[in-house]
Amino acid sequence: MRTDGLATAGGYVAGFALLFLVWHLAATVLVSSVLFPPPLPVLERAVVLIEDNILQEQIVASMRRILQGFLIGSAIGIPIGLAIGSFKLIRWLLEPWTEFFRFIPAVAMITVAVIWFGIGEESKIFLIAYTTVFVVVISTAAGVGAVGRDKIRAAQCLGASRLQVFALVALPATVPYILTGMRLAMSNAFVTIVAAELIASNDGLGKLLWDARLFMQVEDIFVALLALGLLGFATDRIFRFLIRAFAGRFNATV
Amino acid sequence: MAFVSLEGVGKTYRGRTGAWEAVRDFSLDLAEGEFFCLLGTSGCGKTTVLNMVAGFEQPTAGRILLDGRPVDRPGADRGVVFQGHDSLYDWLTALDNIGFGLRLRGLGRSERRAKAEHYLTMVGLTGQGAKHPTELSGGMKQRIQIARALANDPRMLLMDEPFGALDAMTRAVLQGELSRIWAETRKTVLFITHDIEEAVALATRVGVMKRGPGGTLKAVIPVDLPFPRERTSDAFMAVFREVHALIHDEIHGAH
């Protein structure tokens, strides 16, 4: 387990080093234009933005919105998904909703969100929650449907009531599916927050991108892109770890 | 009065492609404490019989009585050991899997652990309690299933080809252990199998089913051999041949 972890970490470091190397070669040998800066000036710019506390502020602004909207969306999506997965009637009633809204991307809802909530925090949180909710509902419902028949039967012949089957078997068996849905929703949330901040915002990484474009600060654009990639990578690792832990392949007692 | 009675039990499934009669006019009485092996070819309806006794499925004809009361749903009085190990809970340790039924009944943590440890030892897995099912071999998982069913102290055990997916060596070891456990606990057992040797090695009586569709009980052979059974003894071979002859007709189509 431990050597596995080290190997994985080593692989990540090597992978990122390769990414920066390819980036460097592409920007110096292949293109060589002010519009495509190599990694070093971008990192130098990042240090300046960090020293001025600008980058942190934008990251905090974006991540706070993502987290709030994501938690609200999950808090709504999980119980609805569980209900859809557990009761046929609710499935019949709500499946048209999820199948309808999931094809209206959050980006298309930006206009509506701004009209309803203005350009403040509420509209972004609404959009993130919107983009989260349907993905979480669908994967949670699928998870409930995928609980093995024998797992439920085993509980029944050990004397479980319907409520016990739900709470002690269906729910824990569904957790990996819920986390997978949340993981997908999180990547959607990154897409949505940038789009929303590009169009209407006073701060955040999307705003950083937009301002850098206005003033042709190419390094700033790349700092924002780098920050998005790294944040996304880090949050995704956390979800992968949680999914493995709950799927039982990870043993906390060893 | 018999402990378990199946009275003219039938099961017909109705689907889009028409009706399928899985079991027809199946009658059997089980005495308390006996080890009954139900033997049949695949598709003869033997698992359907077990599912109906377990209460997972309802007969479409006849009735099933346990202590004179009709069986209409699964209950803690009938512990089931499933063929596959998908019935174990991956998110719980082996010990917590075994103690699951006790948890349902609201037993305290320490009492639960002590009981679960007892059954963990009974199935020969002392010291493996902290592992999760994914870390255990197929044979170990079936041991956990048996321990989980026993820890709940059911009145009878229903076993659906529990060793069917194991390799021959592991299967033989687990058959021996099951015989020993049965001798210790004297639970009534209904054991489904398509393996003649397994049936003769374990059972006090072997029921041979006619092939499906509309599978029913063809004959019941008592196995009056002492435990542990010597599989190469003449007496064992005699019973084996008797059962084999009955099954042979079913495989080769003579009704």
Q: Assess whether A24 and A88 both reside in one domain.
A: no
Angle among Cα B229, B233, B237 to the nearest 5 degrees reads: 95
Angle among Cα B170, B175, B179 to the nearest 5 degrees reads: 150
In chain A, whose CA is at the least distance from the CA of B151? A158
Q: Assess whether A18 and A46 both reside in one domain.
A: no
For residue A138, what pLDDT is reported? 94
> Å from B245 to nearest chain A CA?
34
Q: CB of B146 within 8 A of CB of B162?
A: yes
> Which has the higher per-residue pLDDT, B65 or A2?
B65
- Interchain CB contact of A187 with B (< 8 Å): no
Query: Between β-strands B35-39 and B205-209, what pairing exists: parallel, antiparallel or unpaired?
Result: parallel
- Interchain CB contact of B135 with A (< 8 Å): yes
Q: Assess whether A204 and A165 both reside in one domain.
A: yes
Looking at residue A231, what DSSP letter applies?
A: H
Residue A251 lies in a domain: no
Q: Could you say which of A150, A155, A175 has the minimum Cβ distance to residue B86? A: A150
Angstrom distance (rounded) from CA A204 to CA A57: 7
- Half-sphere exposure (Cβ direction) of B10: Cα atoms closer than 13 Å: 13
Angstrom distance (rounded) from CA B48 to CA B53: 9
Residue A254 lies in a domain: no
Residue A96 lies in a domain: yes
B75/A157 Cβ within 8 A: yes
Q: Assess whether A74 and A136 both reside in one domain.
A: yes
**Which tens digit of pLDDT belongs to each residue from A123-138?**
999 999 999 999 999 9
**Which tens digit of pLDDT belongs to each residue from A160-196?**
999 999 999 999 999 989 999 999 999 999 999 998 8
If one counts the domains in chain A, the total is: 2
In chain B, whose CA is at the least distance from the CA of A164? B104
Q: Assess whether A26 and A151 both reside in one domain.
A: no
CA-based nearest residue to A74, from A145, A164, A180: A180
> What are the CA-CA distances from residue B237 to residues B229, B241, B249, B251 (Å)?
11, 6, 18, 20
Q: Assess whether A27 and A45 both reside in one domain.
A: no
Tokens of A97: 């909703």
> Å from A69 to nearest chain B CA?
29
State yes or no: pLDDT of A4 exceeds 90: no
Q: Assess whether A133 and A121 both reside in one domain.
A: yes
**Which tens digit of pLDDT belongs to each residue from A19-71?**
999 999 999 988 878 889 999 999 999 999 999 999 999 999 999 999 999 99
Residues 6+ apart with CB under 8 A from B93: A253, B129, B130, B131, B132
A11 alpha-carbon distance from chain centroid: 23
Please report the domains of chain B, with CATH numbers, ordered by start residue: 4-77+155-251 (3.40.50.300), 90-153 (no CATH)
CA-based nearest residue to A81, from A125, A159, A141: A141
Residue A186 lies in a domain: yes
Show residues of chain A in contact with B103, CB under 8 Å. 168
Residue A253 lies in a domain: no
In chain A, whose CA is at the least distance from the CA of B56? A153
For B253: left if phi > 0, alpha if psi spans -120 to 50, otherwise beta; the answer is left
Residue A252 lies in a domain: no
State yes or no: pLDDT of A246 exceeds 90: no
For residue A254, what pLDDT is reported? 28
Q: Assess whether A30 and A43 both reside in one domain.
A: no
Q: Assess whether A157 and A226 both reside in one domain.
A: yes
B91/A172 Cβ within 8 A: yes
Angstrom distance (rounded) from CA B33 to CA B187: 5
**Bridge partners of B192?**
B38, B160
Query: What's the CATH code of the domain at A96?
Result: 1.10.3720.10
Q: Assess whether A32 and A43 both reside in one domain.
A: no
Query: Could you tell me the residue range of the domain that residue A2 belongs to?
Result: 1-36
Query: What is chain A's mean pLDDT, rounded?
Result: 89
- Interchain CB contact of A246 with B (< 8 Å): yes
Q: Assess whether A221 and A187 both reside in one domain.
A: yes
Q: CB of A129 within 8 A of CB of A116?
A: no
Angstrom distance (rounded) from CA B147 to CA B79: 10
Question: SS3 for B17?
Answer: coil
In chain A, whose CA is at the least distance from the CA of B81? A154
For residue B114, what pLDDT is reported? 94
- Interchain CB contact of B148 with A (< 8 Å): yes
CA-based nearest residue to A153, from B134, B160, B217: B160
Tokens of A159: 């004397």
> Å from A66 to nearest chain B CA?
30
For A159: left if phi > 0, alpha if psi spans -120 to 50, otherwise beta; the answer is left
Most confident listed range (A74-78, A242-246, B227-231): A74-78
- Interchain CB contact of B63 with A (< 8 Å): no
For residue A253, what pLDDT is reported? 34
Q: CB of B65 within 8 A of CB of B72?
A: no
The answer to whether the Cα torsion of B100, B102, B106, B110 is positive or negative is: negative
- Interchain CB contact of B185 with A (< 8 Å): no
Low-confidence ranges of chain B (pLDDT < 50): 254-255
Q: Assess whether A6 and A115 both reside in one domain.
A: no
Q: Give me the interface pTM, i.e. the ipTM.
A: 0.91
Residue A57 lies in a domain: yes
Looking at residue B215, what DSSP letter applies?
A: B
- Interchain CB contact of A249 with B (< 8 Å): yes
For residue A250, what pLDDT is reported? 39
Q: CB of B189 within 8 A of CB of B159?
A: yes
A148/B76 Cβ within 8 A: no
